[in-house]
Amino acid sequence: MSRIAYVNGRYMPQRDASVNVEDRGYQFADGVYEVVQIYRGRFVDRDRHLARLERSLGEVRIAMPMARAALLHVLTEVARRNRVQDGLLYMQVTRGVARRDHVFPADGVKPAVVVTVRRTLSFPTDVDRWTARAITYPDERWARCDIKSTGLLPNVLARQAAREQGAAEAILIDAAGMVTEGAATSLWIVDAEGRLRTRHLDRSILPGCTRDALLAVMQDAGVTFEERAFSEAELGLAQEAFLTSATNFVKPIVEIDGRPVGDGRVGSVSRQLFALFARHVHGMSNAA
């Protein structure tokens, strides 16, 4: 069975789906997107993702293409038509189709919407086998990383550099030597003093939905943490490090730039937070 995509009001076989060559997403990366994990037929952190989509659209002055309830119906229908119970759903909204010009097109151009889905493995059950290696890499992105823009060329180059070095993620370092985030993830450490830390939200990082959900889970569980930036040097001295994202959940990093993090094994804090987030995914997938 061919995968089914939603493109600008129509459900169609994905092999036949296409967008106009003058779609501004194609020509200017003038659009935003979201990736949502599906677990046992439920959208994990659905409301967080929809709220972030609305925020990103507002920041770049693209109208919501439809009411939230209507968009949720489309997402649900794409998953249903593809019979996906465990997978990843991708949704993208661009400014629409117009004659190529840098300025916004005149009124009347409708935002363009694409939704696709694919099957993935279910939630990992063994944290010791859910680990990864990372590299450090210069942060060469634009100044509004808080917007989930489709303009991801610097992220692509960073991830490719990681792949070529046998790693899963590139940890981005800004010009001041401070860690921002992963190329497609939020980054956390347990520092040399045993404090759990992740960078505070600003325009240098994406407000991760999984990051936000984990913070809420940690607060409910009484886990102490700091939202405070840390340097590349502090990263090198960390006892533990892990990533969060819709595709990685909580993923321990056991090696950075060829050197072990801590003792090179999953630490106690990462293990605890993996278990806490697993309970969130299993029982609270649609939490706001």
Q: Could you report the per-residue pLDDT of 222-238, keeping only the tens digit for each? A: 999 999 999 999 999 99
Compute the distance between CA of residue 205 and CA of residue 200 in angstroms, rounded to an integer.
Answer: 9
Among residues 79, 3, 4, 32, which one has the least CA distance to residue 285? 79
Per-residue pLDDT tens for 70-114?
999 999 999 999 999 999 999 999 999 999 999 999 888 999 999
The yes-or-no verdict on residue 256 having pLDDT over 50 is yes
The pLDDT of residue 168 is 98
78 exposure class (CB count in 10 Å sphere: 0-12, 13-18, 19+): buried
Residues 146 and 204 in one domain: yes
In angstroms, rounded to a whole number, what is the distance separating the alpha carbons of residues 250 and 131?
9
Q: Are residue 144 and residue 270 in the same domain, yes or no?
A: yes
The reply to whether 64 and 133 lie within a common domain is no
Instruction: Kindly list the catalytic residues.
Output: 148
CATH number (domain holding residue 18):
3.30.470.10
Query: Tens digits of per-residue pLDDT, 26-43?
Result: 999 999 999 999 999 999
**Do residues 36 and 148 share a domain?**
no
Tell me if 136 sits within 8 A of 259, measured CB to CB.
Answer: no
146 domain-assigned: yes
Q: Report d(CA 151, CA 146) in Å as an integer.
A: 12
Residues 144 and 267 both lie in one domain: yes
Q: 81-116 burial string, b = 16+ CB within 10 Å, else e? A: ebebeebbbebbbbbbbbeeeeeebeeeeebbbbbb
**Same domain flag for 20 and 155:** no
Instruction: State which of 119, 142, 162 marks the end of a domain.
Output: 119
CATH, residue 149 = 3.20.10.10
pTM above 0.85, yes or no: yes
pLDDT tens digits for range 2-19: 799 999 999 999 999 999
Tell whether 78 and 155 lie within a shared domain: no
* Residue 43 sits in the same domain as residue 162: no
Do 13 and 6 form a contact (C-beta atoms < 8 A)? no
pLDDT digits (tens, 9 = 90+) for 186-203: 999 999 999 999 999 999
Average confidence (pLDDT) over 276-288: 74
The answer for residues whose C-beta is within 8 angstroms of residue 7's C-beta and 6 or more apart is: 17, 18, 19, 113, 114
- Full domain range(s) for residue 57: 4-119
Helix axes of 209-221 and 268-283: crossing angle, nearest 10 degrees: 100
Residue 143 has pLDDT above 80, yes or no: yes
Domain end (from 119, 138, 173) = 119
DSSP percent split of the chain into helix, strand, coil, nearest 5: 30, 30, 40
Are 95 and 190 found together in one domain? Answer: no
Least Cα distance to 225 among 201, 199, 254, 196 occurs for 196
Note whether residue 288 is domain-resident: no
Identify the domain boundary among 119, 138, 166.
Answer: 119
